[in-house]
Amino acid sequence: MARRVVVTGVGAVTPLGVGVDELWRAVCEGRSGIGPVTRFDASAFPCRIAAEVRGFDPERWLPRKEARRMDRFAQFAVATALMAAGDAGIDLGRLDADRTGVMMGTGIGGMETLIEQSHILATRGPDRVSPFFVPMMIANMASAQVSIVTGAHGPNVTAVTACSSSANAVGDAFRTIQRGDADVMFAGGSEAAVVPLAMAGFCAMKAMSLRNEEPVRACRPFDADRDGFVLGEGGGCLILESLESARARGATIQAEIIGYGMTADAYHVVHPAPGGVGQSGAMRRTMEEAGLSPDDVDYINAHATSTPVGDREEVGAIKMVFGERAARLPVSSTKSMTGHLLGAAGAVELILCIRALQSGVIPPTINYEHPDPACDLDCVPNRPRAAELDVALSNSFGFGGHNVTLAVRRWNG
Protein backbone atom coordinates (compact mmCIF):
# COMPACT_ATOMS: atom_id res chain seq x y z
CA MET A 1 0.00 0.00 0.00
CA ALA A 2 1.28 3.49 -0.88
CA ARG A 3 2.44 5.51 2.10
CA ARG A 4 0.72 8.77 3.04
CA VAL A 5 2.76 11.90 2.36
CA VAL A 6 2.52 15.12 4.33
CA VAL A 7 4.05 18.61 4.18
CA THR A 8 5.95 19.69 7.29
CA GLY A 9 7.85 22.76 6.09
CA VAL A 10 7.82 25.42 3.38
CA GLY A 11 10.14 28.16 2.14
CA ALA A 12 9.84 30.77 -0.61
CA VAL A 13 11.67 33.64 -2.25
CA THR A 14 9.35 35.61 -4.54
CA PRO A 15 8.75 39.09 -5.95
CA LEU A 16 6.39 39.59 -2.99
CA GLY A 17 9.07 39.06 -0.39
CA VAL A 18 11.69 36.78 1.10
CA GLY A 19 9.92 34.12 3.15
CA VAL A 20 6.49 32.51 3.10
CA ASP A 21 5.03 34.87 5.69
CA GLU A 22 5.93 37.87 3.54
CA LEU A 23 4.50 36.14 0.47
CA TRP A 24 1.23 35.26 2.15
CA ARG A 25 0.79 38.71 3.69
CA ALA A 26 1.23 40.37 0.30
CA VAL A 27 -1.17 37.93 -1.38
CA CYS A 28 -3.85 38.60 1.23
CA GLU A 29 -3.37 42.32 0.64
CA GLY A 30 -3.73 41.84 -3.12
CA ARG A 31 -0.35 43.44 -3.67
CA SER A 32 1.54 43.22 -6.97
CA GLY A 33 5.25 42.40 -7.14
CA ILE A 34 5.58 43.71 -10.70
CA GLY A 35 7.52 46.84 -11.62
CA PRO A 36 10.03 48.27 -14.10
CA VAL A 37 13.01 46.03 -14.86
CA THR A 38 16.00 47.04 -12.74
CA ARG A 39 18.41 44.13 -13.26
CA PHE A 40 19.46 45.43 -16.69
CA ASP A 41 18.69 48.26 -19.09
CA ALA A 42 15.42 47.23 -20.73
CA SER A 43 14.75 50.51 -22.51
CA ALA A 44 15.05 48.93 -25.97
CA PHE A 45 12.64 46.08 -25.21
CA PRO A 46 8.94 46.07 -26.11
CA CYS A 47 8.24 44.76 -22.58
CA ARG A 48 10.12 46.66 -19.88
CA ILE A 49 8.48 45.25 -16.75
CA ALA A 50 9.04 42.14 -14.66
CA ALA A 51 8.39 40.61 -11.25
CA GLU A 52 11.86 40.79 -9.73
CA VAL A 53 12.98 39.48 -6.34
CA ARG A 54 14.16 42.41 -4.25
CA GLY A 55 16.03 42.41 -0.97
CA PHE A 56 17.49 38.93 -1.43
CA ASP A 57 20.96 38.48 0.07
CA PRO A 58 22.32 34.97 -0.60
CA GLU A 59 24.90 35.44 2.15
CA ARG A 60 22.13 35.05 4.73
CA TRP A 61 22.22 31.36 3.82
CA LEU A 62 25.61 30.79 2.21
CA PRO A 63 29.24 31.79 2.75
CA ARG A 64 30.24 34.52 0.30
CA LYS A 65 32.65 32.27 -1.57
CA GLU A 66 30.02 29.57 -2.13
CA ALA A 67 27.32 32.08 -3.08
CA ARG A 68 29.57 33.57 -5.78
CA ARG A 69 29.99 30.12 -7.30
CA MET A 70 26.25 29.64 -7.77
CA ASP A 71 23.92 31.11 -10.35
CA ARG A 72 21.04 33.11 -8.90
CA PHE A 73 18.58 30.26 -9.55
CA ALA A 74 20.67 27.91 -7.39
CA GLN A 75 20.96 30.55 -4.65
CA PHE A 76 17.16 30.75 -4.56
CA ALA A 77 16.94 26.96 -4.31
CA VAL A 78 19.36 26.70 -1.39
CA ALA A 79 17.75 29.59 0.48
CA THR A 80 14.23 28.16 0.15
CA ALA A 81 15.40 24.66 1.11
CA LEU A 82 17.03 25.96 4.30
CA MET A 83 13.92 28.00 5.08
CA ALA A 84 11.76 24.92 4.61
CA ALA A 85 14.03 22.80 6.80
CA GLY A 86 13.84 25.40 9.55
CA ASP A 87 10.07 25.62 9.22
CA ALA A 88 9.86 21.82 9.49
CA GLY A 89 12.06 21.74 12.58
CA ILE A 90 14.64 19.55 10.85
CA ASP A 91 18.07 19.43 12.46
CA LEU A 92 20.38 18.93 9.47
CA GLY A 93 23.10 17.67 11.77
CA ARG A 94 20.89 14.75 12.80
CA LEU A 95 19.37 14.09 9.39
CA ASP A 96 18.95 10.47 8.27
CA ALA A 97 20.86 11.35 5.13
CA ASP A 98 20.36 8.06 3.28
CA ARG A 99 16.57 8.36 3.65
CA THR A 100 16.43 12.03 2.61
CA GLY A 101 16.39 13.19 -1.01
CA VAL A 102 16.06 16.27 -3.19
CA MET A 103 13.93 16.96 -6.25
CA MET A 104 14.02 20.47 -7.67
CA GLY A 105 12.65 21.85 -10.92
CA THR A 106 13.75 24.64 -13.23
CA GLY A 107 12.64 25.58 -16.69
CA ILE A 108 15.84 27.28 -17.81
CA GLY A 109 18.60 26.89 -15.23
CA GLY A 110 21.60 29.23 -15.06
CA MET A 111 20.82 31.55 -17.94
CA GLU A 112 22.40 34.60 -16.27
CA THR A 113 25.70 32.72 -16.04
CA LEU A 114 25.36 31.55 -19.64
CA ILE A 115 24.91 35.11 -20.88
CA GLU A 116 27.81 36.47 -18.82
CA GLN A 117 30.25 33.77 -19.90
CA SER A 118 29.17 33.97 -23.55
CA HIS A 119 30.00 37.66 -23.48
CA ILE A 120 33.40 36.90 -21.94
CA LEU A 121 34.10 34.31 -24.65
CA ALA A 122 33.16 36.76 -27.41
CA THR A 123 35.09 39.75 -26.03
CA ARG A 124 38.05 38.27 -24.14
CA GLY A 125 38.58 34.80 -25.58
CA PRO A 126 38.17 31.19 -24.45
CA ASP A 127 40.95 31.26 -21.85
CA ARG A 128 38.98 33.81 -19.81
CA VAL A 129 35.82 31.71 -19.45
CA SER A 130 35.31 30.77 -15.80
CA PRO A 131 36.08 27.21 -14.68
CA PHE A 132 32.84 27.49 -12.72
CA PHE A 133 30.79 28.25 -15.85
CA VAL A 134 29.44 24.75 -16.46
CA PRO A 135 28.67 23.83 -12.83
CA MET A 136 26.97 27.19 -12.35
CA MET A 137 24.89 27.02 -15.52
CA ILE A 138 23.57 23.46 -15.84
CA ALA A 139 20.02 22.91 -14.70
CA ASN A 140 20.69 20.14 -12.17
CA MET A 141 22.77 22.42 -9.97
CA ALA A 142 19.81 23.61 -7.89
CA SER A 143 19.08 20.09 -6.66
CA ALA A 144 22.79 19.30 -6.45
CA GLN A 145 23.57 22.35 -4.32
CA VAL A 146 20.60 21.68 -2.03
CA SER A 147 21.92 18.16 -1.52
CA ILE A 148 25.43 19.43 -0.79
CA VAL A 149 24.25 22.07 1.67
CA THR A 150 21.78 19.84 3.51
CA GLY A 151 23.74 16.58 3.35
CA ALA A 152 20.84 14.65 1.77
CA HIS A 153 22.22 11.44 0.24
CA GLY A 154 18.93 9.99 -1.07
CA PRO A 155 17.34 10.31 -4.52
CA ASN A 156 18.42 13.50 -6.26
CA VAL A 157 16.71 14.52 -9.50
CA THR A 158 15.98 17.68 -11.49
CA ALA A 159 12.71 18.13 -13.36
CA VAL A 160 12.86 20.28 -16.50
CA THR A 161 9.36 20.59 -17.94
CA ALA A 162 9.17 24.34 -18.55
CA CYS A 163 6.48 25.97 -16.40
CA SER A 164 5.48 22.60 -14.90
CA SER A 165 8.96 21.85 -13.60
CA SER A 166 8.55 22.41 -9.87
CA ALA A 167 5.08 20.84 -9.86
CA ASN A 168 6.62 17.74 -11.43
CA ALA A 169 9.41 17.85 -8.85
CA VAL A 170 6.92 17.93 -5.98
CA GLY A 171 4.82 15.21 -7.58
CA ASP A 172 7.81 12.98 -8.22
CA ALA A 173 9.01 13.50 -4.64
CA PHE A 174 5.53 12.53 -3.48
CA ARG A 175 5.80 9.31 -5.51
CA THR A 176 9.32 8.62 -4.14
CA ILE A 177 8.03 8.68 -0.57
CA GLN A 178 4.84 6.80 -1.46
CA ARG A 179 6.80 3.83 -2.75
CA GLY A 180 9.28 3.85 0.14
CA ASP A 181 12.45 5.07 -1.58
CA ALA A 182 12.83 7.94 0.90
CA ASP A 183 11.23 9.21 4.10
CA VAL A 184 11.94 12.92 3.63
CA MET A 185 12.24 14.95 0.43
CA PHE A 186 13.21 18.54 -0.30
CA ALA A 187 10.92 19.33 -3.25
CA GLY A 188 10.33 22.49 -5.25
CA GLY A 189 11.94 24.67 -7.88
CA SER A 190 13.68 27.90 -8.73
CA GLU A 191 14.11 30.25 -11.65
CA ALA A 192 16.15 33.40 -12.36
CA ALA A 193 15.35 34.28 -15.94
CA VAL A 194 14.86 38.05 -15.72
CA VAL A 195 17.80 38.50 -18.09
CA PRO A 196 18.06 40.18 -21.51
CA LEU A 197 18.12 37.03 -23.63
CA ALA A 198 15.05 35.48 -22.01
CA MET A 199 13.14 38.77 -22.15
CA ALA A 200 14.06 39.23 -25.81
CA GLY A 201 12.93 35.71 -26.64
CA PHE A 202 9.57 36.04 -24.93
CA CYS A 203 9.08 39.47 -26.51
CA ALA A 204 9.82 38.00 -29.94
CA MET A 205 7.06 35.44 -29.31
CA LYS A 206 4.70 38.34 -28.49
CA ALA A 207 3.84 36.52 -25.27
CA MET A 208 4.55 39.39 -22.85
CA SER A 209 2.30 42.13 -21.54
CA LEU A 210 3.11 45.57 -22.94
CA ARG A 211 1.51 47.58 -20.12
CA ASN A 212 4.82 49.24 -19.35
CA GLU A 213 3.24 52.40 -17.95
CA GLU A 214 1.13 50.57 -15.36
CA PRO A 215 3.13 47.51 -14.28
CA VAL A 216 1.08 46.65 -11.20
CA ARG A 217 -1.98 46.31 -13.46
CA ALA A 218 -0.18 44.41 -16.23
CA CYS A 219 -0.87 40.82 -15.18
CA ARG A 220 -4.64 40.30 -15.33
CA PRO A 221 -5.60 36.63 -15.68
CA PHE A 222 -9.14 35.96 -16.95
CA ASP A 223 -9.71 39.67 -17.64
CA ALA A 224 -10.99 40.53 -21.11
CA ASP A 225 -8.15 43.04 -21.59
CA ARG A 226 -5.28 40.68 -20.76
CA ASP A 227 -2.42 40.99 -23.21
CA GLY A 228 0.28 38.57 -22.06
CA PHE A 229 2.23 37.31 -19.08
CA VAL A 230 4.80 39.09 -16.94
CA LEU A 231 8.12 37.35 -16.36
CA GLY A 232 9.04 36.67 -12.74
CA GLU A 233 11.77 35.00 -10.72
CA GLY A 234 12.08 33.20 -7.40
CA GLY A 235 11.87 29.83 -5.76
CA GLY A 236 9.82 27.61 -3.50
CA CYS A 237 10.61 24.47 -1.52
CA LEU A 238 8.47 22.08 0.51
CA ILE A 239 9.53 19.41 2.97
CA LEU A 240 7.57 16.26 2.14
CA GLU A 241 7.61 13.38 4.61
CA SER A 242 5.98 10.06 5.08
CA LEU A 243 3.30 10.32 7.72
CA GLU A 244 5.25 7.83 9.83
CA SER A 245 8.41 9.95 9.67
CA ALA A 246 6.58 13.15 10.58
CA ARG A 247 4.84 11.54 13.53
CA ALA A 248 8.01 9.83 14.76
CA ARG A 249 9.84 13.14 15.13
CA GLY A 250 6.79 15.05 16.42
CA ALA A 251 6.65 17.37 13.43
CA THR A 252 3.87 19.88 12.89
CA ILE A 253 1.98 18.69 9.82
CA GLN A 254 0.76 21.49 7.55
CA ALA A 255 -1.14 19.52 4.87
CA GLU A 256 -1.32 16.18 3.08
CA ILE A 257 -0.52 15.63 -0.59
CA ILE A 258 -3.25 13.32 -1.87
CA GLY A 259 -2.97 13.30 -5.66
CA TYR A 260 -0.63 13.89 -8.61
CA GLY A 261 -1.58 13.68 -12.27
CA MET A 262 0.30 14.53 -15.44
CA THR A 263 -0.42 14.35 -19.15
CA ALA A 264 0.97 15.60 -22.45
CA ASP A 265 -0.97 17.62 -25.01
CA ALA A 266 1.04 16.09 -27.88
CA TYR A 267 -0.09 19.09 -29.88
CA HIS A 268 2.23 22.14 -30.13
CA VAL A 269 5.44 23.52 -28.63
CA VAL A 270 3.70 26.62 -27.24
CA HIS A 271 -0.09 26.55 -27.64
CA PRO A 272 -2.26 24.34 -25.40
CA ALA A 273 -4.40 21.73 -27.10
CA PRO A 274 -7.82 23.15 -28.10
CA GLY A 275 -10.49 22.57 -25.50
CA GLY A 276 -7.97 21.89 -22.75
CA VAL A 277 -8.03 18.14 -23.42
CA GLY A 278 -4.60 17.46 -21.91
CA GLN A 279 -5.12 19.83 -19.01
CA SER A 280 -8.44 18.25 -18.08
CA GLY A 281 -6.73 14.84 -18.17
CA ALA A 282 -4.19 15.93 -15.56
CA MET A 283 -6.94 17.16 -13.26
CA ARG A 284 -8.97 13.98 -13.71
CA ARG A 285 -6.01 11.70 -12.98
CA THR A 286 -5.20 13.65 -9.84
CA MET A 287 -8.76 13.53 -8.60
CA GLU A 288 -9.07 9.82 -9.33
CA GLU A 289 -5.95 9.04 -7.32
CA ALA A 290 -7.18 11.21 -4.45
CA GLY A 291 -10.69 9.74 -4.57
CA LEU A 292 -12.23 13.17 -5.15
CA SER A 293 -15.50 14.05 -6.81
CA PRO A 294 -16.05 17.52 -8.30
CA ASP A 295 -17.96 18.54 -5.18
CA ASP A 296 -14.98 17.65 -2.96
CA VAL A 297 -12.71 20.33 -4.44
CA ASP A 298 -13.00 23.68 -2.68
CA TYR A 299 -10.44 25.78 -4.57
CA ILE A 300 -8.20 25.70 -7.65
CA ASN A 301 -5.04 27.73 -7.95
CA ALA A 302 -5.03 28.12 -11.73
CA HIS A 303 -2.02 28.14 -14.00
CA ALA A 304 -3.61 31.16 -15.73
CA THR A 305 -0.76 33.42 -16.84
CA SER A 306 -2.76 36.30 -18.38
CA THR A 307 -2.36 35.20 -21.99
CA PRO A 308 -5.44 35.43 -24.22
CA VAL A 309 -5.39 31.78 -25.35
CA GLY A 310 -3.95 30.05 -22.31
CA ASP A 311 -6.47 31.36 -19.78
CA ARG A 312 -9.39 30.52 -22.05
CA GLU A 313 -8.23 26.95 -22.62
CA GLU A 314 -7.71 26.35 -18.91
CA VAL A 315 -11.25 27.56 -18.22
CA GLY A 316 -12.49 25.09 -20.83
CA ALA A 317 -10.54 22.28 -19.16
CA ILE A 318 -11.99 23.11 -15.75
CA LYS A 319 -15.49 23.07 -17.20
CA MET A 320 -14.83 19.67 -18.81
CA VAL A 321 -13.83 18.21 -15.44
CA PHE A 322 -16.25 19.94 -13.09
CA GLY A 323 -19.35 20.40 -15.23
CA GLU A 324 -22.03 22.43 -13.44
CA ARG A 325 -19.83 22.66 -10.36
CA ALA A 326 -17.36 24.84 -12.31
CA ALA A 327 -19.60 27.89 -12.04
CA ARG A 328 -19.53 27.72 -8.22
CA LEU A 329 -15.89 26.70 -7.74
CA PRO A 330 -13.43 29.44 -6.68
CA VAL A 331 -10.55 29.55 -9.18
CA SER A 332 -7.89 32.23 -8.77
CA SER A 333 -4.53 33.04 -10.30
CA THR A 334 -1.89 34.27 -7.90
CA LYS A 335 0.33 35.01 -10.90
CA SER A 336 -1.62 38.27 -11.05
CA MET A 337 0.56 39.26 -8.07
CA THR A 338 3.77 37.23 -8.40
CA GLY A 339 4.12 37.30 -12.16
CA HIS A 340 5.03 34.03 -13.85
CA LEU A 341 7.90 32.31 -12.04
CA LEU A 342 8.26 29.76 -14.86
CA GLY A 343 9.82 26.59 -13.43
CA ALA A 344 9.33 27.80 -9.84
CA ALA A 345 5.64 28.62 -10.22
CA GLY A 346 4.17 25.25 -9.29
CA ALA A 347 5.96 24.97 -5.95
CA VAL A 348 5.16 28.54 -4.92
CA GLU A 349 1.52 28.13 -5.88
CA LEU A 350 1.21 24.85 -3.99
CA ILE A 351 2.58 26.63 -0.91
CA LEU A 352 -0.13 29.26 -1.37
CA CYS A 353 -2.75 26.50 -1.59
CA ILE A 354 -1.50 25.13 1.73
CA ARG A 355 -1.66 28.55 3.36
CA ALA A 356 -5.18 28.98 2.00
CA LEU A 357 -6.26 25.67 3.55
CA GLN A 358 -4.64 26.55 6.88
CA SER A 359 -6.12 30.03 7.11
CA GLY A 360 -9.48 29.61 5.41
CA VAL A 361 -8.66 32.45 3.01
CA ILE A 362 -8.77 32.16 -0.79
CA PRO A 363 -6.17 34.32 -2.59
CA PRO A 364 -7.61 36.77 -5.12
CA THR A 365 -7.04 37.33 -8.82
CA ILE A 366 -6.14 41.01 -8.87
CA ASN A 367 -6.64 43.38 -11.82
CA TYR A 368 -9.91 41.72 -12.77
CA GLU A 369 -11.89 44.64 -14.21
CA HIS A 370 -13.53 43.51 -17.47
CA PRO A 371 -15.37 40.16 -17.49
CA ASP A 372 -14.49 37.86 -20.39
CA PRO A 373 -17.43 35.67 -21.49
CA ALA A 374 -14.89 32.96 -22.39
CA CYS A 375 -13.55 32.93 -18.80
CA ASP A 376 -16.82 32.92 -16.88
CA LEU A 377 -15.64 31.28 -13.66
CA ASP A 378 -15.60 32.57 -10.09
CA CYS A 379 -12.07 33.96 -10.25
CA VAL A 380 -12.19 35.54 -6.76
CA PRO A 381 -11.79 39.03 -8.22
CA ASN A 382 -9.54 41.58 -6.57
CA ARG A 383 -10.06 40.69 -2.90
CA PRO A 384 -9.30 37.60 -0.80
CA ARG A 385 -12.28 35.62 0.43
CA ALA A 386 -12.91 33.77 3.67
CA ALA A 387 -14.15 30.22 3.09
CA GLU A 388 -14.17 26.76 4.60
CA LEU A 389 -11.53 24.87 2.67
CA ASP A 390 -10.60 21.22 2.84
CA VAL A 391 -9.14 20.34 -0.59
CA ALA A 392 -7.31 22.42 -3.19
CA LEU A 393 -5.90 21.69 -6.63
CA SER A 394 -2.88 23.42 -8.14
CA ASN A 395 -2.50 23.48 -11.93
CA SER A 396 0.81 23.90 -13.77
CA PHE A 397 1.05 23.76 -17.56
CA GLY A 398 4.29 24.12 -19.51
CA PHE A 399 5.52 24.84 -23.03
CA GLY A 400 5.70 21.60 -24.97
CA GLY A 401 2.33 20.47 -23.63
CA HIS A 402 3.36 19.37 -20.12
CA ASN A 403 0.35 19.30 -17.79
CA VAL A 404 0.54 18.73 -14.03
CA THR A 405 -2.06 18.91 -11.28
CA LEU A 406 -1.42 18.40 -7.58
CA ALA A 407 -4.09 17.86 -4.91
CA VAL A 408 -3.59 18.84 -1.28
CA ARG A 409 -5.84 18.35 1.73
CA ARG A 410 -6.01 20.40 4.92
CA TRP A 411 -4.52 18.54 7.85
CA ASN A 412 -6.92 18.21 10.75
CA GLY A 413 -4.95 15.73 12.85
Long-range contacts of 21-26 (CB under 8 A, 24+ apart): 23/338, 23/348, 23/351, 23/352, 24/352, 24/355, 24/359, 26/337
The rounded distance, in Å, linking the Cα atoms of 233 and 143 is 17
User: How many helices and strands in the chain, by DSSP H and E?
Assistant: 13, 15
Catalytic, out of 47, 203, 219, 303:
303
**Contact (CB, 8 A) for 156 and 215:** no
Beta bridge partners of 365: 381
Catalytic, out of 163, 203, 219, 375:
163
Is residue 163 among the annotated active site residues?
A: yes
Residues 6+ apart with CB under 8 A from 394: 167, 300, 301, 346, 349, 350, 353, 405, 406, 407, 408
Burial of 63 (0-12, 13-18, 19+ CB in 10 A): exposed
Q: How far does Cα 164 stand from its chain's mean position?
A: 8
The rounded distance, in Å, linking the Cα atoms of 411 and 413 is 6
**Contact (CB, 8 A) for 198 and 108:** yes
Is residue 153 among the annotated active site residues?
A: no
3-state secondary structure of 186: strand
Distances (CA, A) of 176 to 170, 287, 336: 10, 19, 32
**Contact (CB, 8 A) for 115 and 196:** yes
The rounded distance, in Å, linking the Cα atoms of 268 and 264 is 10
Q: How open is the CA angle 14-19-24, to the nearest 5 degrees?
A: 80
End-to-end CA distance of the chain: 21
Catalytic, out of 219, 237, 340, 379:
340
β-pairing, 255-264 vs 5-14, is antiparallel
Catalytically annotated residues: 163, 303, 340
